[in-house]
Amino acid sequence: MILLVNGEQRDLTVSGIYNDITNGGRTAKGLLPYTHDDILWVVVNIEVANGVCLTAKIAELNRAFPNISVISIEDYISQTMEGLIEQLSLAAMVGFGLGFIISGLITAMFFKMLIAKDISQIAIMSGIGISYRGIRLQYITRAVIVLIIGLVVGSIAAITLGQGLAGLLIPGISSMRFIINPIISYGASTTALGLVVMITVFVGCISIKKIDVMKLAQ
């Protein structure tokens, strides 16, 4: 690539890039002579002491230095990575929706096959006097046990492996650390997933009552 440095053209070769989330993960640096007029901007990070009102301090610095822009770190993150944050939020919502749909479909298919496989055993239990309610309770209990194990294993995998996988999928990020909201992650999401699975299991078990025992016996 050709760059204009102090009025002179220089042929440069990009020999490597480094991770930079603010530039799509494709950023390179070069040690070239420069003047102060060539600098586009400079970012200076300031950490205020505990108990200092951040809003008042920003207003004070803006009055003292009218030629610079003083903003909070939240505003800076919003300005530099708002697009990425919106994409991640959309991906999270889509992931939640698809996760619930896929969980319901897989559960329905599994119980259809399970009931079809155990149809003779169900007929025998019904023939010896076990009520359909008791039979359905057995399948629901098995589903609850599997559901609890799945939620625990899935939560552990998300905490241990999810951060590394997310870092590999998103360009410009060498490592990622999840900031987990326990109410949403372990409360709302697991409860919603549990309800989806349990409703699907309950609807699937209704078909047990429709099994014709006498027809199977023949």
Residues 213, 151 contacting (CB under 8 angstroms): no
| Residue 18: DSSP 8-state | B
Residue 107's CB is within 10 A of a number of other CB atoms, namely 21
At 158, list the tokens.
């998300």
Phi then psi for 211, rounded to 5 degrees? -70, 130
Residues 125-171 pLDDT 10s: 777 777 777 878 888 888 888 888 888 888 788 777 777 776 676 65
Entry pTM: 0.56
Residues 192-201 pLDDT 10s: 888 888 888 8
pLDDT tier for residue 217 given thresholds of 50, 70 and 90: very low
